[in-house]
Amino acid sequence: MNLWPATTNLLARFKRLVQTFTDPMTEVYLLFFQATVPTFTSFNLLLQREQSSIFLLHDEMVKFVRKLCSKFMVPAALQCHEEPCEIAFKEKANHLPGRKLNIGFTTRAKLNKLLDEGDITPQQVDSFHEAVLCFLTSAVDYALKKLPLEEPLIKHAQFVDVRQRAESDSVERFPHLLPYHGPEEHDLLGEEFLNYQTMPMISLQDETEMESFWAEMATRKHKVTGAKEFERLAAVAKLVLVLPHANADADRVFSVVGLNKTKRRHSLALDGTRSSIMTIKMANLEPCFKWEPPSDIIKASKKATGQYNHADRS
């Protein structure tokens, strides 16, 4: 008898599940999420990148917000505004009618089929369209509140990308990052920036890392004077590149800590073994079995092993 209340609750939950999964609109909603989630996951891939990507962040944030808006807004309302914060996405006059909402081809086909076969009513279709509109507008509203779209540093960090240097503003946009204060230094920095903008186009592959590019730029010397051509500009670029574009690296650190501090190894000292393990893990993200020690280390290890065995036998 004591189990009866629990059994009753279980049966009630089972009935709700049966009712939900037998409702034809459930499949429509799931298909809509299947068509919409890639918009979020593709942007999330940028935030999960290990390479420095702060110079890509602003443009990708703008594309993300505009892509969400394009799913429920008339194109004319987006064409007249470049900045996401200027888009009047809450104005009903800018919304597409329900039948034109971008909900995915499969979702639309399934919705029309259910309506034609009489499995759902026009009122259910209207309710679905209202729910879709509410979801998308809420997503845009949340993105505009949380994403740092107005951050000047992120907005103008694209000068680091050599492929976007022509559209970049002066590096004077970063007064708090510049390691130079005198007017002469600022003039020299401006000259380096102009030379960088007007230099011949460099052939780069898409996967080229900007860290490697600026490391090479820092060593380039003038053919006549022998002085470094981009000494100051490269220093500023490196300061921008070390800025994190997301908190994924910090999350990875906590994950590594959780994998190494277990119930059986709960007393690892923070300033001892645990610190050493974390240093090794974060310095080399590849599995240990893929690491190939240099020949000099192997030779020294064999020599040390021989000396140890000789001392042990004696």
pLDDT, tens digit (0-9, with 9 covering 90-100), for 110-120? 999 999 999 99
Residue 106: per-residue pLDDT: 95
* φ/ψ bin of 119: left (φ > 0), alpha (ψ from -120 to 50), beta (otherwise): alpha
pLDDT digits (tens, 9 = 90+) for 123-171: 999 999 999 999 999 999 999 999 999 888 888 888 888 877 777 766 6
Which residue in 236, 241, 243, 237 sits closest to 178, CA to CA? Answer: 236
pLDDT at residue 140 in the model: 95
Which ranges in the chain belong to alpha helices (H)? 4-22, 24-47, 54-70, 75-79, 105-116, 122-146, 152-155, 183-198, 210-217, 231-241, 248-260, 273-283, 295-313
pLDDT computed for residue 180 by the predictor: 63
The confidence score (pLDDT) of residue 67 equals 95
- With beta carbons less than 8 A apart as the criterion, state whether 202 and 196 touch: no
Instruction: Report the pLDDT value the prediction gives residue 26, as an integer from 0 to 100.
Output: 92
C-alpha to C-alpha distance for 50 and 247, rounded to whole angstroms: 10
For 69-125, how does the pLDDT look when each residue is reduced to its tens digit (9 = 90+)?
999 999 998 888 888 888 999 999 999 999 999 999 999 999 999 999 999 999 999
> What are the pLDDT digits (tens) for 7-36?
777 777 878 888 878 889 999 999 999 999
Tokens 């799913």 — which residue? 71
Look up the pTM and report it: 0.73
Residue 212 has pLDDT above 70, yes or no: yes
Q: What is the pLDDT of residue 225?
A: 85
pLDDT in tens, 282-291: 666 566 667 7
What pLDDT score does 144 carry? 94
Handedness of CA 112, 117, 119, 123 (dihedral sign): positive
- Looking at residue 303, what is its pLDDT? 87
Give the pLDDT of residue 269.
65
Q: Is the pLDDT of residue 192 over 50?
A: yes
Which DSSP category does 43 fall into? H
Reply yes or no on whether the pLDDT at 3 is more than 60: no
Highest mean pLDDT (candidates 36-45, 172-181, 228-237): 36-45
The pLDDT assigned to 62 comes to 93
**Residue 183: other Cβ atoms inside 10 A:** 8
What pLDDT, on the 0 to 100 scale, is given for residue 164?
Answer: 78
The answer, yes or no, to whether residue 266 has pLDDT greater than 60, is yes
Whole-number pLDDT of residue 1: 47
Q: Is residue 50's pLDDT more than 60?
A: yes
User: What is the overall mean pLDDT for the chain?
Assistant: 82
Mean pLDDT, rounded, for 181-196: 80
Q: Count the Cβ atoms, other than its own, within 10 Å of residue 53.
A: 20
